[in-house]
A and B are shown apart, each in its own frame.
Chain A
Protein backbone atom coordinates (compact mmCIF):
# COMPACT_ATOMS: atom_id res chain seq x y z
CA UNK A 1 0.00 0.00 0.00
CA UNK A 2 1.36 3.39 -0.93
CA UNK A 3 2.20 5.62 1.98
CA UNK A 4 -0.24 8.42 2.48
CA UNK A 5 0.69 12.02 2.10
CA UNK A 6 2.38 13.24 5.17
CA UNK A 7 -0.09 15.10 7.20
CA UNK A 8 0.97 18.11 9.12
CA UNK A 9 -0.69 20.24 11.64
CA UNK A 10 0.17 23.85 11.70
CA UNK A 11 -0.74 26.90 13.58
CA UNK A 12 -1.85 25.75 16.95
CA UNK A 13 -2.71 28.79 18.96
CA UNK A 14 -3.55 28.80 22.59
CA UNK A 15 -5.94 31.44 23.71
CA UNK A 16 -6.95 30.68 27.25
CA UNK A 17 -9.53 32.98 28.75
CA UNK A 18 -11.07 33.64 32.10
CA UNK A 19 -14.77 33.89 32.73
CA UNK A 20 -16.70 34.98 35.78
CA UNK A 21 -18.14 31.49 36.27
CA UNK A 22 -15.29 29.22 35.12
CA UNK A 23 -11.90 30.72 35.88
CA UNK A 24 -8.71 29.15 34.68
CA UNK A 25 -10.10 27.30 31.66
CA UNK A 26 -8.30 27.43 28.37
CA UNK A 27 -9.20 27.63 24.72
CA UNK A 28 -7.18 25.70 22.18
CA UNK A 29 -7.45 26.64 18.55
CA UNK A 30 -5.51 25.72 15.50
CA UNK A 31 -5.53 25.03 11.84
CA UNK A 32 -4.95 21.81 9.98
CA UNK A 33 -3.18 21.90 6.64
CA UNK A 34 -1.62 19.37 4.34
CA UNK A 35 1.85 19.23 2.84
CA UNK A 36 0.84 21.76 0.19
CA UNK A 37 -0.42 24.25 2.73
CA UNK A 38 -4.05 23.73 1.85
CA UNK A 39 -6.62 23.68 4.59
CA UNK A 40 -7.85 20.22 5.50
CA UNK A 41 -11.55 20.08 6.28
CA UNK A 42 -13.21 17.38 8.36
CA UNK A 43 -10.00 16.43 10.09
CA UNK A 44 -10.60 14.93 13.49
CA UNK A 45 -8.58 16.52 16.27
CA UNK A 46 -8.50 14.70 19.58
CA UNK A 47 -7.17 16.29 22.74
CA UNK A 48 -6.44 13.87 25.58
CA UNK A 49 -5.61 15.25 29.00
CA UNK A 50 -2.45 13.56 30.22
CA UNK A 51 -3.31 14.15 33.87
CA UNK A 52 -7.04 13.48 33.91
CA UNK A 53 -7.49 11.28 30.85
CA UNK A 54 -10.28 13.51 29.59
CA UNK A 55 -10.85 13.12 25.87
CA UNK A 56 -12.20 15.91 23.74
CA UNK A 57 -12.58 15.93 20.00
CA UNK A 58 -13.20 18.55 17.38
CA UNK A 59 -13.54 18.59 13.62
CA UNK A 60 -11.83 21.10 11.40
CA UNK A 61 -14.03 23.29 9.28
CA UNK A 62 -13.69 24.09 5.61
CA UNK A 63 -10.92 26.54 6.50
CA UNK A 64 -9.04 23.86 8.39
CA UNK A 65 -9.67 25.52 11.74
CA UNK A 66 -10.68 23.72 14.90
CA UNK A 67 -11.35 24.88 18.42
CA UNK A 68 -11.51 23.44 21.92
CA UNK A 69 -13.14 25.52 24.59
CA UNK A 70 -13.21 25.19 28.34
CA UNK A 71 -10.09 23.07 28.67
CA UNK A 72 -8.85 22.62 32.24
CA UNK A 73 -5.22 23.66 32.54
CA UNK A 74 -2.77 20.86 32.03
CA UNK A 75 -0.92 18.89 29.42
CA UNK A 76 -2.72 17.48 26.42
CA UNK A 77 -1.79 15.00 23.73
CA UNK A 78 -3.15 16.09 20.38
CA UNK A 79 -3.96 13.66 17.60
CA UNK A 80 -4.81 14.77 14.09
CA UNK A 81 -6.52 12.42 11.66
CA UNK A 82 -7.84 13.00 8.21
CA UNK A 83 -8.88 10.72 5.42
CA UNK A 84 -6.03 9.89 3.10
CA UNK A 85 -3.41 11.49 5.32
CA UNK A 86 -1.09 10.16 7.94
CA UNK A 87 -2.07 10.57 11.51
CA UNK A 88 -0.05 13.11 13.43
CA UNK A 89 0.39 13.22 17.16
CA UNK A 90 1.80 15.95 19.35
CA UNK A 91 2.78 14.12 22.54
CA UNK A 92 2.31 16.98 24.93
CA UNK A 93 0.96 20.50 24.72
CA UNK A 94 0.43 22.69 27.73
CA UNK A 95 -2.74 24.66 28.32
CA UNK A 96 -2.84 27.09 31.21
CA UNK A 97 -5.36 29.57 32.53
CA UNK A 98 -3.63 32.69 31.43
CA UNK A 99 -4.09 34.38 28.11
CA UNK A 100 -1.26 33.66 25.72
CA UNK A 101 -0.57 33.53 22.01
CA UNK A 102 1.66 30.98 20.33
CA UNK A 103 3.21 31.90 16.98
CA UNK A 104 2.11 29.87 13.97
CA UNK A 105 4.11 26.76 13.28
CA UNK A 106 5.56 26.46 9.84
CA UNK A 107 5.47 23.39 7.68
CA UNK A 108 8.78 22.60 6.04
CA UNK A 109 9.51 19.82 3.63
CA UNK A 110 6.28 18.08 4.46
CA UNK A 111 7.26 17.65 8.08
CA UNK A 112 5.94 19.43 11.08
CA UNK A 113 8.46 21.68 12.74
CA UNK A 114 7.33 22.31 16.23
CA UNK A 115 8.44 25.21 18.37
CA UNK A 116 7.11 23.43 21.41
CA UNK A 117 9.45 21.36 23.54
CA UNK A 118 8.93 17.63 23.14
CA UNK A 119 9.33 15.62 26.34
CA UNK A 120 12.56 13.64 26.33
CA UNK A 121 10.94 10.55 27.84
CA UNK A 122 7.76 10.09 25.87
CA UNK A 123 7.46 6.44 26.89
CA UNK A 124 6.82 7.49 30.47
CA UNK A 125 3.66 9.36 29.54
CA UNK A 126 0.76 7.46 31.06
CA UNK A 127 -1.32 7.49 27.91
CA UNK A 128 1.44 7.23 25.34
CA UNK A 129 0.42 4.93 22.50
CA UNK A 130 2.34 1.69 22.26
CA UNK A 131 3.00 2.02 18.54
CA UNK A 132 1.29 4.31 16.08
CA UNK A 133 3.03 2.59 13.16
CA UNK A 134 0.91 -0.56 13.44
CA UNK A 135 -2.43 1.17 13.55
CA UNK A 136 -4.42 0.72 10.35
CA UNK A 137 -5.46 3.90 8.61
CA UNK A 138 -8.37 4.76 6.38
CA UNK A 139 -6.01 4.65 3.42
CA UNK A 140 -5.45 0.96 4.17
CA UNK A 141 -9.12 0.15 3.71
CA UNK A 142 -9.30 0.99 0.01
CA UNK A 143 -12.21 3.37 0.28
CA UNK A 144 -12.88 5.64 -2.67
CA UNK A 145 -12.41 9.42 -2.38
CA UNK A 146 -16.16 9.81 -2.79
CA UNK A 147 -16.67 7.64 0.26
CA UNK A 148 -14.17 9.44 2.45
CA UNK A 149 -14.36 13.10 1.50
CA UNK A 150 -17.06 15.26 2.97
CA UNK A 151 -19.22 17.40 0.75
CA UNK A 152 -20.54 20.48 2.50
CA UNK A 153 -22.53 21.53 -0.54
CA UNK A 154 -24.37 18.24 -0.63
CA UNK A 155 -25.03 18.57 3.10
CA UNK A 156 -26.46 22.04 2.56
CA UNK A 157 -28.82 20.62 -0.09
CA UNK A 158 -29.94 17.92 2.31
CA UNK A 159 -30.56 20.54 5.00
CA UNK A 160 -32.60 22.55 2.56
CA UNK A 161 -34.60 19.51 1.53
CA UNK A 162 -35.47 18.73 5.13
CA UNK A 163 -36.42 22.33 5.76
CA UNK A 164 -38.73 22.41 2.71
CA UNK A 165 -40.37 19.14 3.71
CA UNK A 166 -41.12 20.57 7.14
CA UNK A 167 -42.69 23.64 5.58
CA UNK A 168 -44.82 21.50 3.26
CA UNK A 169 -45.89 19.39 6.19
CA UNK A 170 -46.96 22.45 8.15
CA UNK A 171 -48.79 23.81 5.13
CA UNK A 172 -50.57 20.53 4.69
CA UNK A 173 -51.75 20.53 8.29
CA UNK A 174 -52.76 24.17 8.04
CA UNK A 175 -54.78 23.48 4.87
CA UNK A 176 -56.62 20.58 6.45
CA UNK A 177 -57.59 22.82 9.41
CA UNK A 178 -59.07 25.47 7.15
CA UNK A 179 -60.96 22.92 5.11
CA UNK A 180 -62.76 21.50 8.11
Chain B
Protein backbone atom coordinates (compact mmCIF):
# COMPACT_ATOMS: atom_id res chain seq x y z
CA UNK B 1 0.00 0.00 0.00
CA UNK B 2 2.16 2.59 0.57
CA UNK B 3 4.73 4.46 -0.64
CA UNK B 4 8.30 5.09 -0.82
CA UNK B 5 11.02 7.46 0.25
CA UNK B 6 12.10 10.58 -1.56
CA UNK B 7 13.61 10.13 -4.99
CA UNK B 8 17.28 10.89 -5.48
CA UNK B 9 16.58 14.31 -6.90
CA UNK B 10 13.89 16.03 -4.92
CA UNK B 11 11.55 18.08 -7.04
CA UNK B 12 11.98 15.96 -10.18
CA UNK B 13 9.28 13.56 -11.36
CA UNK B 14 9.79 10.00 -10.28
CA UNK B 15 8.04 6.70 -10.67
CA UNK B 16 8.06 3.74 -8.34
CA UNK B 17 7.26 0.10 -8.94
CA UNK B 18 6.33 -2.47 -6.34
CA UNK B 19 9.03 -5.12 -6.55
CA UNK B 20 7.68 -7.50 -3.98
CA UNK B 21 5.09 -7.40 -1.30
CA UNK B 22 3.23 -9.43 1.25
CA UNK B 23 -0.19 -8.58 2.59
CA UNK B 24 -1.41 -10.62 5.53
CA UNK B 25 -4.89 -10.42 6.99
CA UNK B 26 -5.65 -11.64 10.48
CA UNK B 27 -9.02 -13.01 11.52
CA UNK B 28 -9.84 -13.74 15.15
CA UNK B 29 -12.33 -16.34 16.30
CA UNK B 30 -12.96 -17.34 19.91
CA UNK B 31 -11.61 -20.80 19.13
CA UNK B 32 -9.14 -20.09 16.35
CA UNK B 33 -6.81 -17.50 14.83
CA UNK B 34 -6.34 -17.36 11.10
CA UNK B 35 -3.98 -15.53 8.81
CA UNK B 36 -4.05 -15.39 5.04
CA UNK B 37 -1.20 -14.01 2.99
CA UNK B 38 -0.89 -12.77 -0.56
CA UNK B 39 2.31 -12.21 -2.48
CA UNK B 40 0.52 -11.13 -5.63
CA UNK B 41 0.26 -7.40 -5.06
CA UNK B 42 1.10 -5.05 -7.89
CA UNK B 43 1.73 -1.38 -7.40
CA UNK B 44 2.90 1.82 -8.95
CA UNK B 45 3.68 5.27 -7.67
CA UNK B 46 4.16 8.57 -9.38
CA UNK B 47 5.63 11.67 -7.79
CA UNK B 48 4.95 14.86 -9.70
CA UNK B 49 5.34 18.48 -8.67
CA UNK B 50 5.91 17.55 -5.06
CA UNK B 51 2.89 15.28 -4.81
CA UNK B 52 2.97 11.49 -4.84
CA UNK B 53 0.15 9.20 -5.93
CA UNK B 54 0.33 5.49 -5.30
CA UNK B 55 -1.90 2.64 -6.34
CA UNK B 56 -1.67 -0.96 -5.16
CA UNK B 57 -3.94 -3.79 -6.27
CA UNK B 58 -4.16 -7.28 -4.85
CA UNK B 59 -6.33 -10.08 -6.26
CA UNK B 60 -8.65 -11.35 -3.54
CA UNK B 61 -8.16 -14.89 -4.80
CA UNK B 62 -4.44 -14.68 -4.13
CA UNK B 63 -4.82 -14.79 -0.36
CA UNK B 64 -3.82 -18.17 1.05
CA UNK B 65 -4.65 -19.19 4.60
CA UNK B 66 -3.44 -22.75 4.19
CA UNK B 67 -6.95 -24.16 3.94
CA UNK B 68 -8.61 -24.14 0.52
CA UNK B 69 -12.10 -24.54 1.97
CA UNK B 70 -11.55 -21.58 4.23
CA UNK B 71 -10.17 -19.56 1.34
CA UNK B 72 -13.22 -20.35 -0.75
CA UNK B 73 -15.46 -19.28 2.09
CA UNK B 74 -13.49 -16.07 2.43
CA UNK B 75 -13.88 -15.49 -1.28
CA UNK B 76 -17.63 -15.92 -1.01
CA UNK B 77 -18.06 -13.74 2.07
CA UNK B 78 -15.99 -10.92 0.61
CA UNK B 79 -17.65 -11.28 -2.80
CA UNK B 80 -14.22 -11.76 -4.25
CA UNK B 81 -15.49 -13.28 -7.50
CA UNK B 82 -17.69 -10.25 -8.14
CA UNK B 83 -15.11 -7.73 -6.92
CA UNK B 84 -11.83 -9.48 -7.60
CA UNK B 85 -9.41 -6.80 -6.45
CA UNK B 86 -8.44 -5.01 -3.29
CA UNK B 87 -7.18 -1.60 -4.34
CA UNK B 88 -5.39 0.92 -2.23
CA UNK B 89 -4.85 4.52 -3.19
CA UNK B 90 -2.92 7.12 -1.35
CA UNK B 91 -1.66 10.61 -1.99
CA UNK B 92 0.75 12.63 0.08
CA UNK B 93 3.37 15.36 -0.22
CA UNK B 94 6.67 14.09 -1.51
CA UNK B 95 8.47 15.79 1.37
CA UNK B 96 6.60 13.67 3.91
CA UNK B 97 8.36 10.54 2.68
CA UNK B 98 11.76 11.64 3.98
CA UNK B 99 11.03 10.38 7.48
CA UNK B 100 11.56 6.88 8.82
CA UNK B 101 7.90 6.82 9.76
CA UNK B 102 5.21 8.22 7.53
CA UNK B 103 1.55 8.70 8.28
CA UNK B 104 -0.72 8.60 5.28
CA UNK B 105 -4.37 8.58 4.40
CA UNK B 106 -5.56 5.51 2.53
CA UNK B 107 -8.54 4.85 0.34
CA UNK B 108 -9.25 1.13 0.10
CA UNK B 109 -11.74 -0.55 -2.20
CA UNK B 110 -12.75 -4.06 -1.23
CA UNK B 111 -15.86 -6.20 -1.48
CA UNK B 112 -17.57 -3.50 -3.51
CA UNK B 113 -17.11 -0.87 -0.83
CA UNK B 114 -14.75 2.03 -0.28
CA UNK B 115 -13.26 2.86 3.09
CA UNK B 116 -11.00 5.69 4.16
CA UNK B 117 -8.28 5.35 6.75
CA UNK B 118 -6.62 8.44 8.15
CA UNK B 119 -3.01 8.81 9.22
CA UNK B 120 -2.00 5.16 9.12
CA UNK B 121 1.65 4.87 10.21
CA UNK B 122 4.20 3.02 8.11
CA UNK B 123 7.89 2.49 8.71
CA UNK B 124 10.15 3.45 5.83
CA UNK B 125 13.60 2.06 5.29
CA UNK B 126 15.79 2.70 2.26
CA UNK B 127 18.65 0.39 1.48
CA UNK B 128 20.56 -0.35 -1.69
CA UNK B 129 18.31 1.76 -3.88
CA UNK B 130 15.20 0.02 -2.65
CA UNK B 131 12.67 1.21 -0.15
CA UNK B 132 10.97 -1.09 2.30
CA UNK B 133 7.61 -0.13 3.76
CA UNK B 134 5.93 -1.89 6.66
CA UNK B 135 2.78 -1.22 8.62
CA UNK B 136 -0.66 -2.45 9.60
CA UNK B 137 -3.97 -1.24 8.28
CA UNK B 138 -6.69 -1.23 10.95
CA UNK B 139 -9.38 -2.68 8.72
CA UNK B 140 -12.65 -4.13 9.98
CA UNK B 141 -15.37 -6.23 8.41
CA UNK B 142 -17.90 -3.48 9.06
CA UNK B 143 -15.84 -1.02 7.04
CA UNK B 144 -16.67 -3.05 3.96
CA UNK B 145 -20.13 -4.19 5.02
CA UNK B 146 -19.04 -7.81 5.29
CA UNK B 147 -21.17 -10.03 7.48
CA UNK B 148 -18.88 -11.75 9.98
CA UNK B 149 -18.65 -15.43 9.08
CA UNK B 150 -19.34 -17.91 11.85
CA UNK B 151 -17.71 -21.10 12.96
CA UNK B 152 -19.62 -23.38 15.30
CA UNK B 153 -22.30 -20.65 15.64
CA UNK B 154 -19.69 -18.15 16.89
CA UNK B 155 -18.88 -15.20 14.62
CA UNK B 156 -15.37 -13.97 14.00
CA UNK B 157 -14.30 -10.64 15.40
CA UNK B 158 -14.96 -7.47 13.46
CA UNK B 159 -11.28 -6.46 13.41
CA UNK B 160 -9.31 -7.80 10.45
CA UNK B 161 -5.97 -5.96 10.60
CA UNK B 162 -3.89 -6.26 7.46
CA UNK B 163 -0.14 -6.31 7.82
CA UNK B 164 1.79 -4.86 4.90
CA UNK B 165 5.39 -5.49 3.93
CA UNK B 166 6.48 -4.04 0.61
CA UNK B 167 9.65 -3.31 -1.30
CA UNK B 168 9.63 -0.57 -3.90
CA UNK B 169 12.23 0.47 -6.40
CA UNK B 170 12.41 3.42 -8.80
Query: Residues of A at under 8 Å CB distance from B?
Result: 42, 44, 46, 55, 57, 59, 83, 130-131, 134-138, 140-143, 147-152, 154-155, 157-159, 161-162
Contacts and interface: CB of A to CB of B under 8 A. Distances in A.
Contacts of B85: 83, 138, 143, 147-148
Contact of B57 (A46, A55, A138, A149): A138
Given A130-B91, A141-B43, A155-B81, 11 more contacts: A57-B113, A131-B48, A138-B87, A141-B55, A141-B57, A143-B85, A147-B59, A148-B57, A149-B84, A150-B82, A158-B75
B76 A162 contact: yes
A44 B109 contact: yes
Contact of A136 (B55, B59, B72): B55
Contacts of B46: 134-136
A162 B77 CA distance: 9
Contacts of A154: 81-82
Interface residues of B, number: 33
Given A131-B49, A155-B81, A161-B72, A46 B114 contact: yes
Contact of B114 (A55, A131, A141, A142): A55
Interface of B: 42-46, 48-49, 51, 53-55, 57, 59, 72-73, 75-77, 79-85, 87, 89, 91, 109, 112-114, 116
Contacts of B109: 44, 57
A131 B94 CA distance: 14
A147 B114 contact: no
Nearest to A83: B85
